[in-house]
Structure 1
Amino acid sequence: MGDSANQATAAAADGGVRAGGGDGDTGAPVPRHGRAALLRLATWFEAAESDTAHELFTAAFGAHPARHLGGTGEDAVAATTSWWDAPLARTAALRLAGALPAAPVPDHGDQQARLRDAAESSAHWRRTAAQELRRVLAEPTGDDARPHLSGLALDVLMELLTAALGAGDATLSPVCAGDLELGIRLHVRSVPDARIILRGADGDLTLEGLRMQVTAYAVETGTDDAADGACDRGVPEPEAAARLVRQA
């Protein structure tokens, strides 16, 4: 096979290369590498017959027929048989790969348990903070209220206060915001001379011009708001009436 392929290569080259190794037209050296060599090889392929082209390809790229593994003596496969048509070779490597056990599925049970415990703990402390707000702010705050709240209770109160002041203009009508999961609702109304100083471990928070009350979630009217009807939970107004000042 190698001799015939080399002969085919030589025969194809004879059409364009002189015996001295130069180009047939100009006498320039024949390129053996790079783009020019591939273009010359493509020219030989185009001019060659089918059988000659196969031999030329084998000689140029060293693509000799495959040698098949496995099989019994009666099932011998010819060396010229394509890998595409030949039966699968039964090798030790294939048997070993098929015998390997599947990788176990990672168990994320511990991670899920930790996340679940953290979520339950957070929900528990938020419910505790909501109960504290219900107890401390069960009645409307006066003109100079100074309730003491824990850090978690103050955080929950700030969430509700932000939502309430964003629901409408407290100077026009009472506003409110609730948390169904915690079961509480914050009622806010504007009273120009009122002041609330929320005292906590991190400092005091002063709210001027407001009165607040925390009720059950289902209650939509605070004690001071009975004459005004349900609180406003509508479209937010551009500005809120209250002025929040953090004091050291």
Structure 2
Amino acid sequence: MRTAGPDGDTAGPWQRLSDGRARAEGPAPRHGRAALLRLAAWFEEADPRAAHEICAAAFAVYGATHLGGPCDEPAGATVSWWQAPLASVAAARLASALPAEPARDHSAQRSRLRDAAESSAHWRRSAAQELRRVLAEPTGDDSRIRLSDPAMEVLMELLTAALGSGDATRRPVSAGDLELGVRLHVRHDPQAAIALRASGGDLNLDGLRLRVTAFDAADETAGTPGTDPDDPAADEAGSALPIAREA
């Protein structure tokens, strides 16, 4: 639609706002008080329909866009969507929408993790049986023992737990693993020395005697010198700490 402007031309609202033509004084200003006065003059001389077009062109104030579709009570263009009657519209799939990504299959990963856990449990059970066989009797004054790496790992776990449960210089201590069914007994003896050998490294223990039994075996405290706090030998037995030296 083309309407006559204040200067008599027939340019449309969009062309008026974008046109740089003006009267003899020069280009029309686009900002500031002069631009607002020029726009106000257009509003004053325009008819209602042209005024709406000028307003939409100047301030981007357009009519509401309504969702089309069948409805029992059609809503007018001026009705707010909040107050308009509801219309049932089927959801339309966008032509450019990407297909849904299928769920990833993690069965292979779960199988690998399960196999790794079963393999680790198998090696730990074998290591526990090796300790039961090699350390079935208390170690002597100068014991040299060769262990596999899994057996050394299990022994180190049990030895750490046993020495952390109490003072081995005052009374024998022990620690066990219910799942593996083994228990390590540790007793202090200043004359004892143990050399543990494995492919991953060697460990030398001075002042300790080790023995591995079934998990439910009782602690070896009865009849051991230095286990009674009132026994004078207890102070002598507790005077020296066992020494662990890693070769």
TM-score band, normalised by shorter chain: 0.5 to 0.7
- Measure how far apart 1:242 and its partner are: 1.8
Identity, % of aligned positions: 55
Given that 1:191 and 1:211 are in contact with CA atoms closer than 8 Å, whether structure 2 keeps it comes out as: yes
Given that 1:190 and 1:211 are in contact with CA atoms closer than 8 Å, whether structure 2 keeps it comes out as: yes
| d(CA) in 2 for partners of 1:240, 1:119 | 42
1:163 is aligned to 161
- Measure how far apart 1:30 and its partner are: 4.2
| d(CA) in 2 for partners of 1:212, 1:137 | 7
Task: Give the SS at the match of 2:92.
Answer: helix
Amino acid in the other structure paired with 1:244: A
Given that 2:174 and 2:185 are in contact with CA atoms closer than 8 Å, whether structure 1 keeps it comes out as: yes
| d(CA) in 2 for partners of 1:126, 1:168 | 25
- Measure how far apart 1:221 and its partner are: 2.7
Distance 1:171 1:71, change over 3 A: closer
Task: Give the SS at the match of 1:207.
Answer: strand
1:28-74 C-alpha deviation (Å, 9 max, x unpaired): x6498xxxxxxxxxxxxxxxxxxxxxx9xx77853333132423597
Q: How does 1:22-33 map to 2 (within 5 A)?
A: 30=33
1:227 is aligned to 223
Q: Residue 96 of structure 1 is aligned with which of 93, 96, 101?
A: 93
Task: Give the SS at the match of 1:208.
Answer: strand
Distance 1:69 1:166, change over 3 A: closer
2:152 is aligned to 154
| d(CA) in 2 for partners of 1:150, 1:191 | 26
Larger radius of gyration: 2
More helix by share: 1
1:163-213 C-alpha deviation (Å, 9 max, x unpaired): 111111111100111111111000001100110001111332110001000
Q: Residue 117 of structure 1 is aligned with which of 115, 118, 123?
A: 115
1:107-132 C-alpha deviation (Å, 9 max, x unpaired): 32222222111111111111110000
Distance 1:74 1:89, change over 3 A: closer
Given that 1:150 and 1:201 are in contact with CA atoms closer than 8 Å, whether structure 2 keeps it comes out as: yes
Distance 1:151 1:141, change over 3 A: same
- Measure how far apart 1:101 and its partner are: 8.3
- Measure how far apart 1:241 and its partner are: 2.5
| d(CA) in 2 for partners of 1:31, 1:242 | 98
Give the number of equivalent residue pairs: 183
Amino acid in the other structure paired with 2:125: R
Q: Any unmatched runs of 5+ in structure 1?
A: 4-28, 33-54, 232-238
Given that 1:207 and 1:245 are in contact with CA atoms closer than 8 Å, whether structure 2 keeps it comes out as: yes
1:72-98 C-alpha deviation (Å, 9 max, x unpaired): 59754311122223444847xx3226x
2:129 is aligned to 131
1:208 is aligned to 206
| d(CA) in 1 for partners of 2:223, 2:111 | 50
Given that 1:207 and 1:244 are in contact with CA atoms closer than 8 Å, whether structure 2 keeps it comes out as: yes
TM-score, length-normalised on structure 1?
Answer: 0.63
| d(CA) in 2 for partners of 1:61, 1:158 | 80
Given that 2:146 and 2:198 are in contact with CA atoms closer than 8 Å, whether structure 1 keeps it comes out as: yes
Given that 1:65 and 1:82 are in contact with CA atoms closer than 8 Å, whether structure 2 keeps it comes out as: no
